[in-house]
Amino acid sequence: MTRVVPSTDAVECQGSVGRNASGLHSTAMDAFFVETVDLLRRTPAVLRALLLDAPDSWISTPDTPDGWRPKDVVGHLITGEQTDWIARTKLILEEGPARPFERFNRFEMLERDVDASLDELIERFAELRAENLRRLGDLVRNDADLDRRGLHPSLGEVTLRELLATWSVHDLDHVSQIFAGMAGSRDADVGPWKAYLGILLRREDPAAVAG
Please state, in angstroms and rounded to a whole number, the distance separating the CA atoms of residues 164 and 80.
12
In terms of pLDDT, which residue wins out, 211 or 3?
A: 211
Closest CA to 15 of 123, 122, 130, 171: 130
- 186 SS3 class: coil
Task: Phi first, then psi: give them for residue 208, nearest 5 degrees.
Answer: -65, 145
Beta strands in the chain (DSSP E): 5-6, 24-25, 149-152, 156-159
- Flag whether pLDDT at 17 surpasses 60: no
Domains and CATH numbers, the chain: 5-204 (1.20.120.450)
Residue type, 33: F
Average of per-residue pLDDT values in the chain: 89
Own/partner long-range contacts of 156-159 (Cβ < 8 Å, ≥24 apart)? 157/97, 159/92
Whole-number pLDDT of residue 188 = 96
Q: What's the pLDDT score for residue 28? A: 58
Q: What is the mean pLDDT of residues 168-175?
A: 98
* Cβ(6)–Cβ(25) below 8 Å: yes
| pLDDT tens track for 28-50 | 578 999 999 999 999 999 999 99
In angstroms, the CA 136 to CA 151 distance is: 19
DSSP strand pairing (24-25 vs 149-152): unpaired
**Mean pLDDT confidence for 66-75:** 97
* pLDDT computed for residue 29 by the predictor: 74
3-state secondary structure at position 5 = strand
Name which of 140, 178, 136 is nearest 40 in CA terms. 136
Q: Are 87 and 95 in contact (CB under 8 A)?
A: no
Higher pLDDT, 87 or 11: 87
pLDDT cut 70: percent of the chain above it: 87
pLDDT value of position 144: 95
Examine the pLDDT at 10 and tell me if it is beyond 60: no
Mean pLDDT to the nearest integer, 141-169: 97
- Condensed to tens digits (0 to 9), the pLDDT of residues 77-133 reads 999 999 999 999 999 999 999 999 999 999 999 999 999 999 999 999 999 999 999
pLDDT band at 13 (very low <50, low <70, confident <90, very high): very low
Cα separations in angstroms, 6 against 3, 14, 24, 135 = 10, 16, 5, 8
pLDDT computed for residue 211 by the predictor: 78
Residue 20, pLDDT > 50, answer no
pTM of the model: 0.85
